[in-house]
Chains A and B, each alone.
Chain A
Amino acid sequence: MKPANRVCRHCAVAFALLALPAAGHSQAAPVIRVRPAAIDADIRFLSDDSLEGRGTGSRGGRVAAEFIAAQFRRMGLEPAGDSGTYFQAVELLGRTPSPSISVNGTPLRYPEDYVVAPVSDDSLTRVSGEVVFAGYGIVSPARKWDDYKGADVRGKVVLVLPGDPDSTRFDRLTGRPWVAVREKADVAARRGAAALLVVQSEGRGGVPWPAVQAFTRERISLAAPASAVAFWGWLSDSAAGALATQAGQDLARLRDAAARRDFRPVPLDLRLEAEVRTAVRRIPTANVVAKLPGRGPRAGEAIAVGAHYDHLGIGPPVNGDSIYNGAEDNASGVACMLAGADAVAGSGVRPARTIVFAAFAAEELGLQGSEWLVRHPPAGLRLVGAFAMDVLNLYGKTRDIGTVGVKQSSLGELVRRAAAAQKMTINEDPDDLRRGRFFRSDNYAFARENIPAMRIVNGVDFVGRPPDWGREQREKYWNERYHRPNDELAPWMNMDGITQQARVLARAVLAAAEAPTAPAWAATSDFRLPDPAAR
């Protein structure tokens, strides 16, 4: 699981329970076989010290990818990567910027006034355009909010505020994280903007300066998609204030105006000239992708089942241990995905839709592998739904199974039924949501492109344990092992819980692949109605 994005702030929002359409016709119950010994073997191998923490671009990561490919081959799943292999090369780049920006001929100071994150793959990017203030830069049909109002920003530099204007209007928990700069950059790019600048706004939902300073160093992200801004960046509060003044405006007034639904973009009548030189480094890594082909007219639709296999590699030693093994994060998720794949392949059921099994690269660096798969689905397939697994239950048998995003789409009902078939309930924990977990793992890369997606996580109601035990274990994990070298298999762990999760996963995936209609977002979901400019 990737760390929380420090740009995001979350608070509680209640949301309506959804009436979901009943999914499909009944059929003979598939035989689901999941072997705890196989899950244990996979986690043990993937989290062994010899895999050196499966760092992106490292030899340990390469071994993990080969291991996963061999398991797909062993199960008889078809390769769905590049040129008939299981490997899909992910074009991951490290970009270190050296920018210079001037406004109306006056240079801004770097990095005191601004920092940039280049998105273009070019080593030299020039942008010259007028600056337009676009409020919070949010366009959400579901929330009836549109900061652009059809304004023409093509070739222009869009200046926005971070966060959102009103926490009661925007569901910051499981809703679409409009507060994320990445979402704002996508919204601007879809309207043809050349670049996006965000006002730092420290203390007002923005970020502290040390976080901004990190942008002067290398950032790792994917090769640019066809439509993207050339760069996005942060503008310091003082520089933003000065620009507003230079344009005859007042930043505080602009901020007030942006909080209103009837806000309209404000052209600032400033010309920004940017020249961004970027040192670009390629980081070799790959997703591992297999498929079970569907049958009939819906075989072109695919349900993705994914878990990231990368972790943090070798890092600063803690108690003399420098290998970040990532047993729970996310050898467990990969083992569950493989066990689910084995169960589906061995069930004898060949559903209507194709099922794509994927081990994602570079999740810890920002959901990069899953985003790449969404941008480059296997040939001939359209991704229509996704289940992701990240950090699963190695603590024991539970009565409930955890979910993230269960109410967002029709996938939730499939998981509920799959759990019921295993005599389990589902449990979506508000604490999880408060941590922003919906958009901190690979399911979000699908959701961002409006593909219904959710995650299966740990329940908290453990058989034979006191009521609070499950939450205590989770807190212990987050506080004592998460992203540390001691995220390792321990003798007290067992495979009972993850075996339950793999069974539920396999049932839910088969149901999604066989259902008469493709997965759909819930009526109130922020992902249901895409940005009109996305089409």
Chain B
Amino acid sequence: MMRSALLWLGVALCGAAPVASQRSEDAVARAVRAGALRAHVEFLASDALEGRGTGARGGDLAAKYIAAQFARLGLEPAGGDGTWFQRIPLRGRRFTSSLAAVGGPALEAGSDFVGYLPGHDDSASVTGDVVFVGYGIMAPEAGWDDYHDTDVRGKIVLALAGTPGDRDSSFFRRPARTDYGGRQYKVDEAARHGAAAAFVIYRPPYLATWSAIADAWLGEQIRLESGWTVGGPVQVAGWINEPAAGRLIRQSGDSLDRLAAAALRPGFAAVPLQLRLVASALARTRTVPTVNVLARLPGRRPAEAVLLGAHYDHLGIGRPVNGDSIYNGALDNASGTAGMLAVAEAFVTSGVRPRRSVLFAAFGAEEAGLLGSAAFIARPMVPLAQLSAMLNLDGLNLLADTRDIASLGADLSSLDGLFRRAAAAEGYAITPPDSPIMQEAQAQDFFNRSDQASFVHAGVPVAYLSFGDRIGAAPAGSGKAALDDYMAHRYHQPSDDLHQPLDFEAGTHSVRVFARMLLAAADAPARAQWKKDSPYQRPN
């Protein structure tokens, strides 16, 4: 005990020589084994795990498997109370809703609209005048204000899905916040303006199809317990499909096309409509048991930490496709979980002892809305100010080895340099920001769609490992083509399973970049810092 403490004190006094750190990064990278990656993917994505549904048997098995692997490695339990598990306080709700113009026919739930209760009420009904609020965005940094002091208190607002940037790329470009396009933001903004109900109009192009949205909202909605109490004055919310919204607006004597065109113009102001709606919903509520699985490799200065995360949950058992009802989630995200475990093994077997502690986190309930990471942020194992960086693996590149690699979010902070050095050490080029795959990542809003988003909003610098753009000697865009094929044919489908071609060597190669970066971040003299021009900063 004493001897190693003195040894490490000696190392600390000498300072981390670049050669020594390079050597230990090489050792960690070498110790990341394709066999381990494959073993964990094959277990987690096997049919026996039943798609690792949140609150389901398969999800529970996955969590226990991950804990067993952490225990095998001799890591410390970091879930609290000496266990590997941090409870995610989840509440699931199913809604029955109705929507109609006052005196008009009822809309069809599912095909025309879906409604829900954002608060904790078991039932609510709102009758009110309707205001069309464009995209429903208040973005002072972009000089954008769709509300323009229009009084929507006690009224029902209709907002278009997405942002004006979806149709005119001169608006809302990075590094602007990109959650303006989502339903949650729009309902929250309506609440801040005192609306009693808020519906988002589904109108392509949008990230999801109407049937995906309708399926999701007709099924159980799972959120943090605290997530059901943030509706403020908004009692009923939901989505309206474009044709139904068009019919309602025509009754007011206006047209959706005209209003939508107006909403694209800077200076747009909300438009009260000659329309009254009745919206109501009922909820059935239950507690959903699930956990994050957390382990710690103690650092020499354990007050600070870095974190490598991956969500282990997927969609469970669902609607059958070609006779297969198990949504195995091999890439999404057995692969990232396996990558995280393989890196944890590499840290242990290579014998590195980093300056900061390293937290290894398997997050639950990501598919339900990044809820495991949100629960972690609400009750972090280390104070968030002491958490230097969060690295996230979600959808490891098991498709094919690329010549280049990208890390979403690293460029916003001092992690950028660490990422570039780690990528170079593994022989990767950095994917150009204007490459097809990076544009796709932007269009698909990948940065806000996995657990790093929870950390970003808490001010913790992050990096999210992305696919590269060029496979082997193939031309630019070949990486995007492979990703497009996955997104079109396997993403969130039962076919994201072990029958698709999986290149574990490619996945290992890419995850070695993050293994190096994780060690570099753990050993760096100073905590990672956001760049000055980043839209995100650590809280004061």
Contacts and interface: CB of A to CB of B under 8 A. Distances in A.
Contact of B48 (A40, A45, A63): A63
A35 B42 CA distance: 24
B48 A66 contact: yes
Given A50-B64, A73-B35, A41 B69 contact: yes
B35 A76 contact: yes
A70 B341 CA distance: 13
Interface in A164-204: none
Interface string B46-63: 101100000001001100
Choose among B36, B48, B67 the residue with the greatest number of A CB atoms under 10 Å from its CB. Answer: B48
Interface string B26-47: 0000000101101110110010
Interface in B155-171: none
A65 to B, nearest CB: 8
Contacts of B43: 66-67, 69-70
A74 interface: yes
A85 to B, nearest CB: 10
Contacts of B64: 45, 48, 50
A71 B69 CA distance: 10
B39 A41 contact: no
A226 B338 CA distance: 44
B378 interface: no
A252 interface: no
A42 interface: yes
Choose among B40, B57, B64 the residue with the greatest number of A CB atoms under 10 Å from its CB. Answer: B64
A38 interface: yes
Contacts of A29: none
B36 to A, nearest CB: 5
A41 B65 CA distance: 9
B68 interface: yes
A44 B71 contact: yes
A436 B421 CA distance: 65
B18 to A, nearest CB: 32
Interface string A213-236: 000000000000000000000000
A1 B36 CA distance: 31
Nearest to B50: A59
Helix, strand, loop or mixed for chain A's interface? helix
Contact of B71 (A37, A59, A70, A72): A37
B174 interface: no
Given A50-B57, A66-B43, A74-B35, A41 B72 contact: yes
A62 interface: yes
A38 B35 contact: no
B74 interface: yes
A37 B60 contact: no
Nearest to A85: B42
B340 to A, nearest CB: 14
B72 A67 contact: no
B502 to A, nearest CB: 13
Contacts of B65: 45, 67
A73 B74 contact: no
B42 A44 contact: no
Contacts of A74: 35-36, 39-40
Nearest to B47: A62
Interface in A319-376: none
Contacts of A48: 64
Given A50-B61, A59-B48, A67-B65, A35 B38 contact: no
Nearest to A68: B43
A37 B74 contact: yes
Contacts of A40: 71
Interface in A36-56: 37-38, 40-42, 44-45, 48, 50-51
B39 A71 contact: yes
A63 B71 CA distance: 19
Interface in A272-296: none
B68 A42 contact: yes
Contacts of A62: 48
A62 B43 CA distance: 11
A499 to B, nearest CB: 13
Given A50-B57, A70-B43, A37 B48 contact: no
Contact of A70 (B40, B61, B73): B40
Contacts of B42: 66, 69-70, 73
Contacts of A76: 33, 35
A124 B49 CA distance: 39
B236 to A, nearest CB: 39
Contacts of B69: 41
Nearest to B74: A37
Nearest to A46: B68
A343 to B, nearest CB: 13
Contact of B74 (A35, A65, A70, A71): A35
Nearest to A51: B61
Contacts of A63: 48-49, 61
B246 to A, nearest CB: 49
B60 A50 contact: yes
Given A50-B60, A63-B48, A63-B61, A45 B68 contact: yes
Interface of A: 35, 37-38, 40-42, 44-45, 48, 50-51, 59, 62-63, 65-67, 69-76
Given A41-B69, A45-B65, 14 more contacts: A37-B74, A41-B67, A41-B68, A42-B68, A42-B72, A44-B71, A48-B64, A50-B64, A67-B65, A73-B35, A73-B38, A73-B42, A74-B39, A74-B40
21 contacts: A35-B74, A37-B74, A38-B72, A41-B67, A41-B69, A42-B68, A42-B72, A50-B57, A51-B61, A63-B61, A66-B42, A66-B46, A66-B48, A69-B42, A70-B39, A73-B35, A73-B38, A74-B35, A74-B36, A74-B40, A75-B35
